[in-house]
Amino acid sequence: MINNLYDLDFFETLFKKGSSIWNSWRKENPNVKPVLRKGEFKDKILIGFDFSEIHLSHANFNGSVLKEVIFDNCIFERCRFESAIIDGCAFIESHCHNSNFSNTLVINTAFHGASLHDSIFDDARTDIANFSGADLRRVSFINSDLKNADFGGATLIDAIFKNSNLDGAQFGWTKFGNNDLAGIINLDKIIHEGPSYLDINTIMKSLKILNSDFLQGVGASEIIIERLRSLTDIEVNKINTSCFISYSHKDTIFANALYEELKAADINVWYAPMDMQGGKKSIDQIQNAVKKYDRLLIILSDDSLNSEWVKSELREALAIEKEIGVQKLFPIRIVDFEKLKEWKCFDSDLGKDLGVELREYHIPDFTNWQNKNVLEKAIEKLISDLISRL
């Protein structure tokens, strides 16, 4: 049971008496699960505490020294461990997602089976960290030193390894998904304990640096390796190019023609008439697609400039650009530029006029799209630009 008879002050007082008294009390009261939400442990030295199965959400461990502390099955999402030293601790099967482990020193610590998704390990240093079976979706390992870490059976979908050192790290039955492995240091020194799962996005994003040894290590056959090695740069770039078509329904004829040309060129396209799924909210599907696809290909016309849907998608793309620092928006126009120059749309969230933001981009001209020859040349240039902007 959770503490029905004990308040926060009781547990804070008990904690201050030290690990011996704390641990003895816990053994005597095995059914009580202490709650220390928003606990303040900054710069403290904690040795040998049994924090298993307790509630520590939003706790602050910044700058602390944690020695042989047990966090097994602990619930402490959105906790802060920046610049902490974590030595000989156990986070087995713990729920510590959305937590910040930036600049930590992690020594001989087990995160086996832990839910760490959406956490941050930027600039962290590890020595024998066990992430086997952990949920590491969308975890950021930027500039981290992950020597000898164990990722066997872990889920790494959308995890970021930019400038991370994986010398001696162990993989096997690991699930990669939409990962760019190009920025990994010592990728060739990874130890493959068994095959792993790589999705097509990971392969295509990382193909230029994936050597045969790595591909063999994750279980790829010689036939697959040979085929991947034979792909040209243009073919790889096409596979890596994806876009979401944003348009007004009154421009459906042009949008259909654009979609067909892009699909014929093997560009991965999300287009509502083809990709919207029944039984799911339209707004959720659109927002997810805008985030997932590399480019928001927005068709600017008299009608789309007055479309609330299109304005919403434009805001979403600009917000993502601001957040991740990568170009998302790719406008094209079937409206005279003079009209575009007059368009205003103030966004209170961004504090900017979207019209001004939009006009900062070079906007390809498709106003004569009904001329087949003009359309073909414009599409050819558009595809070239989409690919070259990777």
Q: Which residue range(s) make up the domain with 351?
A: 241-388
Residue 280 is assigned to a structural domain of this protein: yes
How many domains would you assign to the chain?
A: 1
Residue 308 is assigned to a structural domain of this protein: yes
Least confident of 56-60, 102-106, 283-287, 295-299: 283-287
Task: Give 247-266 pLDDT, tens digit per residue.
Answer: 999 999 999 999 998 988 88
At 6, the pLDDT band (50, 70, 90 cuts) reads low
Q: Is 320 helix (H, G, I), strand (E, B) or coil?
A: helix
Residue 248 is assigned to a structural domain of this protein: yes
The pLDDT of residue 8 is above 80: no
pTM above 0.75, yes or no: no
Rounded Cα gap, residues 323 and 338, in angstroms? 31
Sort 184 into a burial class: Cβ within 10 Å, 0-12 / 13-18 / 19+.
buried
Rounded Cα gap, residues 92 and 70, in angstroms? 9
Residue 330 is assigned to a structural domain of this protein: yes
Task: Give 313-366 pLDDT, tens digit per residue.
Answer: 888 777 777 776 778 888 999 999 888 888 887 777 667 787 888 888 889 999
Q: Which residue has the tokens 């045969």?
A: 212
Task: Give 24-61 pLDDT, tens digit per residue.
Answer: 999 999 888 888 888 899 999 999 999 999 999 999 99
The CATH number for 340's domain is: 3.40.50.10140
Higher per-residue pLDDT: 377 or 312: 377
Least confident of 6-15, 64-73, 128-137: 6-15
Amino acid identity at 373? N
Residue 217 is assigned to a structural domain of this protein: no
Residue range 206-219: mean pLDDT, rounded: 84
Cα 44 to chain centroid distance, Å, stands at 32
Residue 223 is assigned to a structural domain of this protein: no
Q: Which residue has the tokens 């630009």?
A: 385
Residue 371 is assigned to a structural domain of this protein: yes
Residue 37 is assigned to a structural domain of this protein: no
Most confident of 63-77, 220-234, 304-318, 322-336: 63-77
Question: What Cα–Cα distance (Å) separates residue 325 from each residue in 24, 319, 354?
Answer: 51, 10, 17
CB contact at 8 A, 143 and 163: yes
CB contact at 8 A, 222 and 215: no
The pLDDT of residue 310 is above 50: yes
